Chains A and B, each alone.
Chain A
Amino acid sequence: MTGTAPMIEVAGVTKHFRRKTDLAERLAMRVGLAEEPPTVHALDDVSLQIAEGEVVGLVGESGCGKSTLGRVVAGMLPVTSGQVARDGKDIAKLKGAEARAMRLATQIIFQDPMSSLNPRKKVVDIIGEAPRLHGLVKRSEVRAEVERLMGLVGLDPAMANRYPHQFSGGQRQRIGIARALAVNPDFLICDESIAALDVSIQAQVINLLVRLREELSLTLLFISHDLSVVRYISDRVVIMYLGRVVETAPTDRIFDAARHPYTQALLEEIPRIDRRGHRFSSVKGEIPSPVNPPQGCHFHPRCPFAMDRCRTERPALTQASPGHSVACHLDGGTGRPLSEAGVTTGDIPAID
């Protein structure tokens, strides 16, 4: 450990996906009858740091690359270019025991607890498998360890011999959390981990994550599209748009003083129970895609403040105040104050 390096440093990471082609398409391409399948630019030069002990909320539109970033950070997906460092070391260069240790130290908890749990295994085996396989506990002590973990996440250890389908959704998510914690990670990536849960159970699982974070000194990357949950749980928020980070700031600043027009539009649309009969606004025209991202600022086709420069020049992530960075050409590259007339997605004009 270098001490001064952030726990996670994502530096200029780009990730492209190629659509898989079938044999007929490949033949057609070979004889020039079909074009190459499009490349998806899931991540486009993303840089991000996560300090030890921090809870970072990652927010963005569906398909903008949040899960891809999560899997890249966890070392589950190779990058196209750029690098991810864990405690100052490039994870792509780690070998053998070091690589394994890194993988264990980072765990992902997914959205759907049912599809990520093997239905034919008992809970004791689901939670106990990894620590046994990796020799973290003696075979004879696996059961005691599983019972300890079940207690930690608020499950009755007496239920260790049951199968996943015998648990409720919230309990299954607790099983998923216990399984992740079984290998003693110090970094958890929660990818929409509570999105599928009921409101009353969401509150229980959020409270559990907050408690575990304190008790086990965990660092969290909390991926969610639910801004109200992110606001509650995160120390810092990162906003992504179409494969790029467009704004990052301490949580209070994002909610009180967001400077990127996209963040401001997001804040305007947070569902709130005290607002009734809301006229939802629609984005006219096409939303740009990661297959063919627009030139310049990716948000320009939807941005009510777009200028000529926005259509050609990518705005760099620029510091607006300490800890608060924005990628927008307005106001010397730092976006615009939230206090000026509000933005709604309805203001976002059509493109053709």
Chain B
Amino acid sequence: MSDPLLEVRGLRTWFETPKGTVKAVDGVDLTLERGEILGLVGESGSGKSITGFSLLGLVDPPGRVVEGDIRFLGEDLRSASPRRLRDLRGNRIAMIFQDPMMTLNPVLRIGTQMIETVRAHAKVSKAEARAKARDALCQVGIPHPDERIDAYPHEFSGGMRQRVAIAIALLHKPDLIIADEPTTALDVTIQSQILSEVQTLTREMGMGLIWISHDLGVVGQLANKVAVMYAGRIVERGTVDEVLDTPRHPYTRGLIDSLPMENDRGQPLRQIPGNAPPPLGRPEGCPFRPRCARATEACLSEPAETEAQGRGWRCFHPLEEEAMA
């Protein structure tokens, strides 16, 4: 049996702060095969981005991966040298950040940055690199790429900047892309076009994709598998059909119920009460307890994962396995 593209076991990434230890990621397991798309959803602060950063060795102090195993095609990334990680990030694994300015340099023209990327990968002339960069802009729906390639990032709208960052990631033709809420600000036709590009790359080139998003609609249409994060843990996972059609965790169910599409106009949206707990003030036991209508005394201790064949949840009182209305 060949190694999975990515295998993560028991990942814990903690930040030592003066006020205490922030357990941003606290025991996360993930498996991704070639050609698979995993949707990682959850509240902000639940640890999605830090999970992504941890995989790439991009966690800055005071943060540190304190425990766990990260394997990329069998290679142990936790003990890989910084140089090896940099090499992988440049060639095999790409990250599209939530904030496109983490990819873009504000004082360089878009074209300059893209040409550099192309030439870092292939020995091509400047003119060839420019043509490739131009095509990549076209691919993500930047109009009139011949003119806009010479613009600076601030001359683009937020959505256009994000598309440029995506174009740069695609230029690497990586084996694995970790995309952190990349299309949140885009309208549906452009989003659809970008999703079409990444779908093609996963289907035809066997690229693996972790799509971090809070848009359940997109995840439902795009992904094969879903993992729902809450307070540093994956609280529910399974295939898209399993998780979205028969959610077992009350938080997943609450997320689905609060979608505007699932509500009648003129009625208040069904909302999950309260906020996600602050990282240093997580309640004892199940972290969802203060917001959960099903909570009982049992929930004062921490629920372990109930798991069978890749389908799992962490809850003492899971919802019945009945199809949603």
Whether B6 is near chain A, meaning CB under 8 Å from some CB there, is no
Complexed CA–CA distance, A192 and B162 (Å): 15
Pick from B78-86, B87-95, B251-259 the stretch touching chain A: B251-259
Contact B269 A280 (CB under 8 A): no
A206 within 8 A of B: yes
Q: How far is B155's CA from A203's CA once the two chains are assembled, in angstroms?
A: 32
Say which one of B25-33, B181-189, B305-313 lies at the interface with A: B181-189
A63 to B163, CA, bound (A): 11
Contact with A273, one of B159, B190, B214, B220 (Cβ below 8 angstroms)? B220
Contact (A200, B43) CB under 8 Å given A111-B185, A272-B220? yes
Is there an interface contact between B221 and A63, defined as CB atoms closer than 8 Å? no
Contact B189 A198 (CB under 8 A): no
Cβ of B44 under 8 Å from chain A: yes
Task: Please tell me if the beta carbons of A273 and B217 are within 8 angstroms of each other in the complex.
Answer: yes
* Cα separation A192 to B269 with both chains bound (whole Å): 18
Q: Is the C-beta of A95 less than 8 angstroms from some C-beta in chain B? A: no
B222 near A: Cβ within 8 Å? Answer: yes
Q: With contacts A62-B160, A291-B143 known, is A195 near B185, CB below 8 A?
A: yes
Contact mask B252-295 → A, CB, 8 Å, 1/0? 00111011111101001111100110100000000000000000
Interface of chain A residues 172 through 215 with chain B (CB within 8 A): 192, 195-204, 206-207, 210
Give chain B's interface residue range (CB within 8 Å of chain A): 35 or more
* A50 CB–B CB distance under 8 Å: no
Among the 9-residue stretches B165-173, B192-200, B296-304, the one with 4 or more Cβ atoms under 8 Å from chain A is: B192-200
Q: Residues of B contacting A312 with CB < 8 Å?
A: none
Q: What is the minimal beta-carbon distance from A108 to any residue of chain B, in angstroms?
A: 15
> Are the C-beta atoms of B189 and A345 separated by less than 8 Å?
yes
- Give which listed residue, B148, B186, B240, contacts A225 with CB less than 8 A: B186
Q: Find chain A residues with CB under 8 A from B160 CB.
A: 62-63
Whether the pair A345, B155 counts as a contact (CB closer than 8 A) is: no
Question: Looking across the interface, which residue of chain A has its beta carbon closest to that of B151?
Answer: A19
- Chain A contacts with B in 269-287, Cβ cutoff 8 A: 269-283, 285-287
Whether A278 lies near B221 (C-beta < 8 A) is yes
CB distance from A3 to the nearest CB of B (A): 28
Task: Give the residues in chain B near A282, CB-CB below 8 Å.
Answer: 192-193, 196-197
Given A276-B220, A291-B144, residue A168 in contact with residue B276 (CB < 8 A)? yes
Instruction: Decide if A280 touches B193 in the complex (CB within 8 Å).
Output: yes
Interface size class, chain A: 35 or more
B73 surroundings in chain A (CB, below 8 A): none
B45 at the interface (CB under 8 A from A): yes
B2 within 8 A of A: no
B268 touches A277 (CB 8 A): no
Query: Does B69 reach chain A (CB closer than 8 Å)?
Result: no
Q: Does A227 contact B (CB under 8 A)?
A: yes
- A210 surroundings in chain B (CB, below 8 A): 268
Q: Which of B145, B217, B255 contacts A286 (CB 8 A)?
A: B145
> B261 near A207 (CB under 8 angstroms)?
no
User: Which chain A residues lie closer than 8 Å to B240 at the CB level?
Assistant: 276-277
Give Cα A251–Cα B143 distance, bound, in whole angstroms.
30
Contact with B along A251-281 (1 / 0, CB 8 A): 1000000000000011001111111111111
Task: Say whether A266 contacts B276, CB under 8 Å.
Answer: no
Q: Using a CB-CB cutoff of 8 Å, which residues 223-249 of chain A contact chain B?
A: 225, 227-229, 231-233
Q: Known interface pairs A225-B186, A273-B216, A273-B217. Does A206 touch B193 (Cβ–Cβ under 8 Å)?
A: no
Residue of A nearest to B269 (CB): A203
- A290 interface residue per 8 A CB criterion: yes
Contact of A200 among B151, B187, B263, B271 (CB under 8 A): B271
Contact A232 B263 (CB under 8 A): yes
Q: Which 3 A-B pairs have the closest CB atoms?
A: A62-B159, A271-B217, A289-B143
Residues of B within 8 A of A (CB): 42-45, 138, 141-145, 147-148, 151, 155-160, 163, 184-193, 195-197, 199, 214-218, 220-222, 240-241, 244, 254-256, 258-263, 265, 268-272, 275-276, 278
A/B interface sample: 23 pairs, CB < 8 A: A19-B151, A60-B187, A61-B189, A62-B160, A62-B163, A62-B187, A168-B276, A170-B275, A198-B214, A198-B276, A199-B216, A200-B43, A200-B272, A203-B258, A225-B185, A225-B188, A269-B188, A270-B217, A271-B220, A272-B221, A273-B216, A281-B196, A345-B189
Given contacts A198-B276, A275-B221, 8 further A-B pairs with CB under 8 A are: A192-B185, A200-B271, A232-B260, A272-B261, A274-B220, A277-B221, A281-B196, A282-B192
